[in-house]
Amino acid sequence: MTDSNTWEEVYEIVRLIPPGRVMSYGQVATICARPLTPRAVGWALYGCPADVPWHRVVNASGGCSTDRVAGKQPGRQQKLLEAEGVDFSPAGTLDMNHYPFELAVDDLNELLVDTKAVP
């Protein structure tokens, strides 16, 4: 599997996250077929295609890591999530237990087959 295929797998997983739900970088990394670190997932999302809802992936504490990334508008990720109904604490974190999108590897394989079968 090439790096572009690995990044495409990350994008496919993230595209499955519905509005108002989130996954952590580590959760995405865990269900990828090729071993990835949470940081690698972040790198993949840094330059992702426009149709990938990158803002639905947060750090393990429920925080928005993109505020520290050069070239990203501070607060943008939080604003996008709030527009989807996600609430943040005054400290700028969301409750990972309240907005989870949980996806098992078996579920992922089934969903990816289903989405590829639709024209």
Q: Which residue has the higher pLDDT, 116 or 20?
A: 20
Q: Whole-number mean pLDDT of the chain?
A: 86
With a cut of 70, say whether residue 118 has pLDDT above it: no
* CATH at residue 54: 1.10.10.10
119 domain-assigned: no
Which residues contact residue 98 at a Cβ distance below 8 angstroms, ignoring those fewer than 6 apart?
Answer: 87
Domain-embedded: residue 66: yes
Give the Å distances, CA to CA, from 89 to 58, 74, 94, 95, 107.
14, 17, 6, 8, 31
DSSP state of 17: S
Question: pLDDT per residue over 35-89, tens digit each?
Answer: 899 999 999 998 899 999 999 999 999 999 887 776 778 899 999 999 999 999 9
Burial readout 6-36 (b: 16 or more C-beta within 10 A, e: otherwise): bbbbbbbbbbbbeeebbbbbebbbebbeeeb
Q: Are 82 and 88 in contact (CB under 8 A)?
A: yes
Q: How far is CA 21 from the centre of its chain?
A: 9
Range of lowest pLDDT (10-14, 65-69, 87-91, 97-101): 65-69
Look at residue 77 and tell me if it is in a domain: yes
Mean pLDDT, to the nearest integer, of 92-101?
94
The domain tally of the chain equals 1
Neighbours of 44 (CB within 10 A): 27
**Domain for residue 11, yes or no?**
yes
pTM: 0.84
Asked if residue 116 belongs to a domain, the reply is: no
Q: Is residue 118 assigned to a domain?
A: no
Q: Quick one: pLDDT at residue 112?
A: 59
Residue type at 82 in one-letter notation = E
Give the domain extent around 100. 3-111
Cα–Cα dist 114/69, whole Å: 34
Q: Is the pLDDT of residue 2 over 50?
A: no
Cα–Cα dist 116/40, whole Å? 25
Kindly state whether residue 67 falls inside one of the protein's structural domains: yes
